[in-house]
Amino acid sequence: MSRHPKPPNSTSPSAPSSTQTAPVLPAALIATNVAKDYGDGPALYPLSVRVEEHERVALIGHNGSGKTTFLRIATGLLEPASGGITIFGQEPGSMTARSKLSYLADTPTFYDDLSVWEHLEYTARLHNMSVWEQRAADLLGQLGIYERGDDLPSRFSRGLKQKAAIAIAFIRPFELMLVDEPFVGLDADGKEALLDLFDHASTAGAALVVATHELSFVSRTARTIALRDGALIFDGESSQAQARGLVAVEGTTSQE
């Protein structure tokens, strides 16, 4: 007997409502002189940025620019060498910060023995969601993998793994989402589905920080932050970002 609910709705799934009623602090993320050195040189120079609640930010830069390091520090997966980050006023990795933050990593990882549907159930129940089945079905339908719900994502192709990881990241309530290169491996339909999910999350009030080489996403944001070789080189309006040059390894664009 299938444990799945009715097929996905034709409309996009709405963001899950949080059961928490505590007031939200005025900033989703505050980084204060946060830096990281892996021993062979700085991976991230002292960086201070503030991301407000409801803000949508594109984080751009070439490979090795420090984007992933910054995001991993913000999630609590990596310790900074100096400085620090708070998530809604809390330390990264704390229970309060984790309850408010959803992280979509650049390399999806899964439990070897859990199906896509079981991953969604585990994540939803971990965040005390009593009603989640229809949203899970809608997410899988929007991403085009509803029929693969009983399969093991650990055996998927790169693109299908990415779609499964996206569904898992969006099934739970969140007030801030940190995303690292989410468009890699996605087909055109998958990219459109993800952009639509970002739009719905923003409309629901979540803050988004998306590290990406997908320059079309930059045009959908009001603010762009650019890193090069671990240093901040731009933080301003996306319309003024000249994103293609900021992503390049070489360049002379100065911080504005």
Other CB atoms closer than 10 Å to residue 1's CB: what's the count? Answer: 3
Q: Tell me if 252 is assigned to some domain.
A: no
Cα–Cα–Cα angle for 217, 218, 220, nearest 5°? 70
Answer whether residue 256 is part of any domain: no
Specify the pLDDT at position 39.
84
What's the pTM value of the predicted model, to 2 decimals?
Answer: 0.87
Identify the pLDDT of residue 10: 59
Pairwise CA distance, residues 209 & 193, whole Å? 18
Which contiguous run of DSSP H or E holds residue 76?
A: none
Residues in the chain: 256
**Residues 83 and 35: beta-carbon distance below 8 Å:** yes
Strands 56-60 vs 101-104: parallel, antiparallel or unpaired: unpaired
pLDDT at 216: 83
- pLDDT the model gives residue 213: 84
For the chain, 256 residues long, give each residue's pLDDT as a single digit of tens.
Answer: 356 666 776 565 655 655 554 554 569 999 999 999 988 889 999 999 999 999 999 999 998 999 999 999 999 999 999 999 999 999 999 999 999 999 999 999 999 999 999 999 999 999 999 999 999 999 999 999 999 999 999 999 999 999 999 999 999 999 999 999 999 999 999 999 999 999 999 999 999 999 998 888 898 999 999 999 999 999 999 988 887 888 876 544 433 3
**Residue 200: which CATH number?**
3.40.50.300
* pLDDT recorded at residue 15: 58
Count of domains observed in the chain:
1
**pLDDT (0 to 100) of residue 180:** 97
pLDDT of residue 40: 83
Whether 15 is in a domain gets the answer no
Strand partners, 37: 42
Give me the domain span that covers residue 82: 27-247
- Identify whether 228 is part of a domain: yes
Residue 140 lies in a domain: yes
Q: CA angle 103-248-196, nearest 5°?
A: 40
- Chain centroid to CA 57: 11
